[in-house]
Amino acid sequence: MLSIGSVGSGVGNTTVTVAAAGGAAAAPAARHLALVWVFPRATAEPVGFALGGPERTVGRDQSCDVRLTGNDVSRRHAVLRRSSEDGRVTIADLGSRNGVRVGGRIGAEAALEPGDVVRLGGWVGVVTASPGELAEIAPGLWGGAKLQAAVAPARQAAISDLPIVLEGETGSGKEVVARAIHRWSGRPGPLCAVNCAALPEGMAEGELFGYRRGAFTGADRASPGHFRNAEGGTLLLDEVSDLPLALQAKLLRILEERAVQPLGEARPVPIDVRIVVAGQQPLHALVPAGRFRADLLARLDGLTVRLPPLRERREDILPLFLWLLQEIGRGQSPAIEPDLAERLCLHDWPFNVRELVLLAKRLVTLYGSGVTLSADHLPKRIAEGAAPSMVAATTAPSLGAPRVRPAAEPVELPALVVALRASGGNVARAAAILGISRQRAYRLMEGQAVDLDAMRSEPERS
């Protein structure tokens, strides 16, 4: 039996839950899914209802199982169905005035999968297997159920001496999580964060381990180094894989002996420091390539926490964006239109939360709270990159294929990063998706931190 219900998420969202009962007989595609309405948040009243059959109608008519308000919603707008053959949940148009959009495309019918963005009139929803309330997990760290589940093991391990490795893309919040781990640990010392990629190669050892005065040319005064600066606290080694192999060997010895030997000193100095390491790439993938020592990984491989990027938790994007508008605008946040809400949810956010924060600051700074923000207020890379591809409503199109961009549209680095990720790091294929030459793609990447090897090691996305 198909079970569809509607519950409140705690942040003003309405959740339409679509799940299959029947235990082991259900197909994998029939796993629990939730369609979380993220816009319009203020009018999304939670509605509970019981199952009466194998499908549920959506619209503004009182006879509909899921009622949505607004004149841009048809009386009987769409229907949610579950296939009795494969358990897939689909949404189909019922001849509405403005159609059903999934992933920015209009179609007659589409199967719903986690991460899909659904638009019915002025309502925007996100399909997720992890519905839940957006909450402050730790100071400065906000997320829904998926991020909360990812971070939970780190919170449990914080009070122990278990080594923790944080994996996540740029802007996904690794340093914020490290600060949370330090806070949860109760350690009295400070948290010191070091970007290993930014350490000068010839001075990295002295910067990390310290040195005595006169230890080398230019050492006109002693330095304790980052390890001793973090005494009694936590040291975050971000991008630890960028440390030279020789320095990785010395780091291993420090972890084993719990002592650091500054340059120019005859004896090691005992230290009490909790080490947290972080990186954009899995350390296990770097060992076969000779970029990370296997023995150091064996010493660090206690608990690995992977922080999901925003594109894997799209249900968080709009609630987080609206919260940012409130915070940045000091309670005076602008209103937003459905087109903007949809396009924010569709954007792949290659720079993750950092990109979302900067966008919110930009919009508040330029437009204040006295306007209603539309898609026209968005940067071109977001407004155009998420523009829906209109398909005749009489067909049932494939909604997951990457859109090939006409060559006349300008292409910027974030769009290239999205295309590269979608094509598994294949530059030629990414260029073809964007409608640019391979040479143009390489020029866009010049001087930028685009790691093709990391993209090629990830499962390819269709």
User: What are the tens digits of pLDDT across the range 236-266?
Assistant: 999 999 999 999 999 999 999 999 877 767 6
Q: Look over the chain and give the mean of its residue pLDDT values, rounded to a whole number.
A: 80
pLDDT of res. 310: 95
User: What are the tens digits of pLDDT across the range 420-433?
Assistant: 887 778 887 777 77
Distance from the Cα of residue 267 to its chain's centroid: 45
pLDDT of res. 349: 93
Strands laid side by side in the 123-128 sheet: 2-8, 14-20, 33-39, 123-128, 117-120, 100-102, 105-106
* pLDDT confidence tier of residue 42, bands split at 50, 70 and 90: very low
Higher pLDDT, 462 or 355: 355
Residue 140 has pLDDT above 60, yes or no: yes
User: How many CA atoms lie within 13 Å of 85's alpha carbon, on the beta-carbon side?
Assistant: 1
- Tokens, residue 293: 């020592």
Higher pLDDT, 124 or 223: 124
pLDDT of res. 356: 95
Candidates 66, 58, 83; CA nearest to 2 is 83
- Between 78-92, 125-139, 148-162, 319-333, the lowest mean confidence (pLDDT) is in 78-92
User: What are the tens digits of pLDDT across the range 406-418?
Assistant: 434 456 787 788 7
Compute the average pLDDT of residues 338-351. Answer: 93
The three state secondary structure string of the chain is: CEEEEEEECCCCCEEEEEEECCHHHCCHHHCCEEEEEEECHHHCCCCCCCCCCCEEEEECCCCCCEECCCCCCCCCCEEEEECCCCCCEEEEECCCCCCEEECCEECCEEECCCCCEEEECCEEEEEECCCCCCEEEECCEEECHHHHHHHHHHHHHCCCCCCEEEECCCCCCHHHHHHHHHHHHCCCCCEEEEEHHHCCCCCHHHHHHCECCCCCCCCCCCECHHHHHCCCCEEEEECHHHCCHHHHHHHHHHHHHCEECCECCCCCEECCCEEEEEECCCHHHHCCCCCCCHHHHHHHCCEEEECCCHHHCHHHHHHHHHHHHHHHCCCCCCEECHHHHHHHHHCCCCCHHHHHHHHHHHHHHHHCCCCEECHHHCCHHHHCCCCCCCCCCCCCCCCCCCCCCCCCCCCCHHHHHHHHHHCCCCHHHHHHHHCCCHHHHHHHHCCCCCCHHHHHHCCCCC
Q: Are 119 and 338 in contact (CB under 8 A)?
A: yes
Residues above pLDDT 90, as percent of the chain: 43
Residues above pLDDT 70, as percent of the chain: 79
Q: Using only the alpha carbons of the chain, give its radius of gyration.
A: 25
> What's the predicted TM-score (pTM) here?
0.75
User: What are the tens digits of pLDDT across the range 82-110?
Assistant: 776 666 788 999 989 888 999 988 888 88
Q: Are 248 and 199 in contact (CB under 8 A)?
A: no
Neighbours of 259 (CB within 10 A): 13
